[in-house]
Structure 1
Amino acid sequence: MSSLDELRETRIGKLKRLEKLGRNPYPVESKRDVSLADAVVDFEKLSKKKILHLAGRVMAIRAQGGLVFFNITDGTATFQALLKKDDVDEKIFNDFMETVDVGDFVGVAGTLFVTKRGEKTLAVSVWTMLAKSLRPLPEKWHGLTDEEERFRRRYLDILFNPDIKATIEKRAKFFSAIRTYLEKNGFMTVDTPVLENAAGGAEARPFLTHYNAYDTDVYLRISLELALKRLLVAGFPKIYEMGRVFRNEGADAEHLQDYTLVEFYEAYSDYEHGMKFVEDMYKYVAKETFGTLQFKIRGFEIDLGKKWETIDFVKLIKEKTGIDILSASEKDIEKKLRDLKVEYDKKGFNTNRGIDTLWKYCRRQIGGPAFLVGVPVMLEPLAKKSEKNPAVVERFQVILAGSEMGKGFSELNDPLDQRARFEEQAKLRAAGDEEAQMMDEEFVEAMEYGMPPAFGFGFSERLFSFLADLPARESQIFPFMRSKE
């Protein structure tokens, strides 16, 4: 039997001892007057109470003869408690010593006082087991560098690592700030289906599953876009959704397969208005979440408060690589990638994939904040063509620290043009491009009833991980892990 198994058996023995003593190791009732943080802040006022109930997880026990000092934490603060053998019934003291371990959740009641060392403390008169832990908390978790071990037991990672806990709290602030900004500007939140007959709205490989009730294969959504645009047809002028999307692609420091996406749409607007709106929103969210507009991200010094640069897609690629993507052939682009020694996926390779790979090569040098504009029509099947230059679309992307941090455009609302672009995408898909978009007949049909001109924008939790300067998996609460079996 391993030492962990032995420790677990010892704790199970203590659990049985609790039951024999008439103490429920997992009671329903949990009495608590204030959080531990409030106990610290309102100590003077609470010291006047004859009896104060606190609760938390035991994180340390220090026995000194007839004195037992122990620390409890409840997620808001840590507080010291003292059980003194001479001041309580002997059974209360002995039961504690025989059954309580570090990791257990306990309720304690007593009076507040300050020790000779100036430590705010609760003198315990009564204690209650709230949840008996059967596995010992690891003694050397803090500083553990094994990423797989940390992610697999993320709850312990959070418990022992204040930085991870702070990241999760900031993540909550981040999404809260987004909701606040959008709703203050008149946007209504909606929920749309996760399972779809056609996975559209983005260029990505979807997850496939089977719908037993309808005996049909369906896709997990890769975007929120097409469902939200149908709500524009339905007459909602300002809508947004914050939800999970799923893309069955590779994982790296920037990309996840299961993550939170935010998309919003405003009728009777365009991408010119959208750029100003997004810039203001990013500044608001950054300030609310991190308290600053200045960041160090992936080696770049970023100031969201400075003037945002505008970069032309076609001109940038020509400047960095010497190739004009509007006139270059597929062979020209592939040769340029080889000359630049840029890795690319040869399976399903086409002009679109080649241009996208060239762009990703060029963008690494852009610190930002910047707006990328002037994207060729063939790369964006859902955006309106520019009236000034029909070869490109009215689309922009936010660039920070060499990466894309959101995309918006004047939404295409011509159903005939939309169908033609979907058909071109279908040809690419049939030729082996698994990221090309699928034909969505239901969406085109909805558009034929009339969709107002609109601006739309989408961005993911990647923005948070970049502003926090963390790998994508580190900024998620529970990153996906392969089963050990």
Structure 2
Amino acid sequence: MRIRLAKRADLLESGREAYPVKPERTHSLTELRKRFGSLAAEETSGEVVSAVGRVVFIRNSGKLCFATLQEGNGTRLQVMLSLAAVGAEALADWKSLADLGDHVQVHGEVLSSKRGELSIMADSWSMASKALRPLPTLHAGVNEETRVRQRYVDLMVREEARDMVRKRAAITRSIRETLHALDYVEVETPILQLVHGGATARPFETHLNAFDQKMTLRIALELYLKRAVVGGIDRVYEIGRIFRNEGVDSTHSPEFTMLECYEAYTDQFGMAERMKEIILNCADALGSRTIETDKGTIDLDGDWAWLGVYPGLSAAVDQEITPETSEEILRRIAESRGVAVNPAWQAEKLVLELFSELVEPSLLQPTFVYDYPPSAQPLARQHRANPRLIEAWDLIIGGMERGTAFSELIDPVIQRERLTAQSRRAAEGDDEAMQLDEDFLRALEYGAPPMGGIGLGIDRLVMLFTNVGIRESILFPILKPAQV
């Protein structure tokens, strides 16, 4: 860095810009490749252009120097600087001032080299932005820690990183296009909230000075979107950032992105069709409905199975498990299978933990896991045929939950009972329990239409299609501060 700072000083002392406002640019590198990519070896175009890019490769040798420029979409183009074309002074300046990572502007004729490489034979060059920190060489790359802590460096040197960003953008664009075609309306709901609800999770707390009021960051999008449906927006969705003050691991982040959408006059099965259409359209936007993973090939074009929680767990432990199965039996199963459980957990929670540990990881192909016990989702409707269950499903693909849906609970009396039970848990010290939201209950009391709702984790969907962990699926993830 001392050497590069000295080069910056040399530029300024000689009256040249190290960081000009707007370098001359007649074509992007992509445009040049499209226009002149068919030139044969040693063929000249007769056209003089001006281009700008980051130096990602440099070889200075005698009277002819080579460099590779790269622009944001990953397109690269060779630049040649010869003594005859640029002159002795400009070539000497190039050798002494230009480094890997610099943005430079070059002016010259487009041609194809002896080896058939599309190039610009520069007749002049100038600095567009002097890099003060060395750029990793392309062949060496960056380690995993640097990839997430210095994402900008990762994006510079690794095409896979830039590709992940483009794929994520394609996924969210596809979701919006799918929902818009189905007449859904996109809305924005508050991030700062007086009452946290819509999920069981520990919120981040803050303070609104103007009202001298404690606030929380939202843990879900659900309750405000349901208010919109009550108000007559029959199909509504939001893609928004969610904040949960919980653990960090390979599949969880304190802030993440969710799609939630709600539709009047449908149920969990109608929303399953919506979910399938959303994900298949995302796959089509990325070019393939098959995904290769360490566990095997996922075929999204195949049948999407339905698996009940209790039958699925029964098959896994080779004995019948029902909503009536006792805590004692479930604890014995957990102990025999090496599943750690909390002594305070009741039977329903034990079933959910056993299913999560013993069944979910084996579900490679898309599977709707349904018929959950009521404690799993306090905002879901009671099952139409079995009062010991609720109408909710989780979509498991590649052994991981990707999304969830309910036939939504719209009875304000039952919803009050469930939220009151949640608030009691909160008062007893459960940091993840929901609070009683009187305004949400008031909205239901005006008459909510029967509806279904979806929650889809965008980050987990990106993980599915890109085969990366959650830290790499998020462009700038929250990380523990590095040790200084």
Same fold (TM over 0.5): yes
Does 1:371 pair with 2:364? Answer: no
CA distance in 1, matches of 2:374, 2:420: 14
Q: What does residue 82 of structure 2 align with?
A: 84
Cα distance change, pair 217–352 in 1 and its aligned pair in 2 (3 A): farther
CA distance in 2, matches of 1:85, 1:72: 20
Q: What does residue 165 of structure 1 align with?
A: 162
Is the contact between residue 298 and residue 401 of structure 1 (CA under 8 Å) also seen in structure 2? Answer: no
Q: Tell me, what secondary structure is at the counterpart of 1:374?
A: strand
CA distance in 1, matches of 2:200, 2:365: 24
Q: What does residue 207 of structure 1 align with?
A: 204
Unaligned runs of at least 5 residues, structure 1:
1-7
Q: What does residue 5 of structure 1 align with?
A: none
Query: Which residue of the other structure, out of 437, 442, 445, is the alignment partner of 1:440?
Result: 437
Q: Tell me, what secondary structure is at the counterpart of 2:167?
A: helix
TM-score (norm 2): 0.92
Is the contact between residue 380 and residue 407 of structure 2 (CA under 8 Å) also seen in structure 1? Answer: yes
Cα distance change, pair 223–44 in 1 and its aligned pair in 2 (3 A): closer
Cα distance change, pair 118–318 in 1 and its aligned pair in 2 (3 A): closer
CA distance in 1, matches of 2:182, 2:320: 42
CA distance in 2, matches of 1:251, 1:73: 35
CA distance in 1, matches of 2:272, 2:38: 52
Cα distance change, pair 92–122 in 1 and its aligned pair in 2 (3 A): same
| Structure 1 residue 141: Cα displacement | 7.2
CA distance in 2, matches of 1:31, 1:102: 21
Q: What does residue 268 of structure 1 align with?
A: 265
Instruction: State the one-letter code of the partner of 1:128.
Output: S
CA distance in 1, matches of 2:300, 2:257: 23
Q: Tell me, what secondary structure is at the counterpart of 1:38?
A: helix
| Structure 1 residue 64: Cα displacement | 2.5
| Structure 1 residue 329: Cα displacement | 4.4
CA distance in 2, matches of 1:195, 1:298: 40
Does 1:98 pair with 2:59? Answer: no
Deviations 1:238-265 (A, max 9, x none): 1111111112222222222211111111
Q: What does residue 471 of structure 1 align with?
A: 469
Instruction: State the one-letter code of the partner of 1:411.
Output: E
Does 1:301 pair with 2:297? Answer: yes
* Worse-matched range after superposition: 164-173 or 83-92: 83-92
Q: What does residue 31 of structure 1 align with?
A: 24
| Structure 1 residue 352: Cα displacement | 4.2
Instruction: State the one-letter code of the partner of 2:269.
Output: E
Deviations 1:45-69 (A, max 9, x none): 9965643111001122222322222
CA distance in 2, matches of 1:143, 1:93: 29
Deviations 1:273-309 (A, max 9, x none): 11122112211111212x2222233414321111111
Is the contact between residue 349 and residue 433 of structure 1 (CA under 8 Å) also seen in structure 2? Answer: no
Is the contact between residue 90 and residue 125 of structure 2 (CA under 8 Å) also seen in structure 1? Answer: yes
TM-score (norm 1): 0.91
Instruction: State the one-letter code of the partner of 2:9.
Output: K
CA distance in 1, matches of 2:25, 2:116: 24
CA distance in 2, matches of 1:334, 1:217: 40
Q: What does residue 16 of structure 1 align with?
A: 9
Q: What does residue 125 of structure 2 align with?
A: 127
| Structure 1 residue 93: Cα displacement | 3.0
Deviations 1:151-178 (A, max 9, x none): 2222222222222222222122111111
Is the contact between residue 348 and residue 373 of structure 2 (CA under 8 Å) also seen in structure 1? Answer: no
| Structure 1 residue 44: Cα displacement | 6.5
| Structure 1 residue 86: Cα displacement | 2.2
Does 1:70 pair with 2:67? Answer: yes
Cα distance change, pair 217–331 in 1 and its aligned pair in 2 (3 A): farther
CA distance in 2, matches of 1:373, 1:202: 18
* Worse-matched range after superposition: 404-413 or 311-320: 311-320
Cα distance change, pair 184–356 in 1 and its aligned pair in 2 (3 A): same
Q: Tell me, what secondary structure is at the counterpart of 1:396?
A: strand
CA distance in 2, matches of 1:45, 1:469: 35
Deviations 1:324-351 (A, max 9, x none): 45224445544442333211345x6344
| Structure 1 residue 323: Cα displacement | 5.9
| Structure 1 residue 16: Cα displacement | 1.2
Unaligned runs of at least 5 residues, structure 2:
none
Q: Tell me, what secondary structure is at the counterpart of 1:129?
A: strand
Q: Tell me, what secondary structure is at the counterpart of 1:13?
A: helix
* Worse-matched range after superposition: 162-171 or 416-425: 162-171
Q: Tell me, what secondary structure is at the counterpart of 1:394?
A: strand
| Structure 1 residue 123: Cα displacement | 1.4
| Structure 1 residue 443: Cα displacement | 1.0
Instruction: State the one-letter code of the partner of 2:25.
Output: R
Q: What does residue 316 of structure 1 align with?
A: 312
| Structure 1 residue 448: Cα displacement | 1.2
Q: What does residue 49 of structure 2 align with?
A: 52
Q: What does residue 403 of structure 2 align with?
A: 406
* Worse-matched range after superposition: 45-54 or 187-196: 45-54
| Structure 1 residue 224: Cα displacement | 0.8
Deviations 1:28-58 (A, max 9, x none): 1132222212211211699656431110011
> 5 Å matches for 1:107-256?
107-139=105-137, 142=140, 144-145=142-143, 147-256=144-253
Cα distance change, pair 345–138 in 1 and its aligned pair in 2 (3 A): farther
CA distance in 2, matches of 1:297, 1:422: 40
CA distance in 1, matches of 2:353, 2:135: 47
CA distance in 1, matches of 2:376, 2:124: 69
CA distance in 2, matches of 1:463, 1:344: 29
Instruction: State the one-letter code of the partner of 1:40.
Output: R
Is the contact between residue 253 and residue 478 of structure 2 (CA under 8 Å) also seen in structure 1? Answer: no
| Structure 1 residue 269: Cα displacement | 1.8
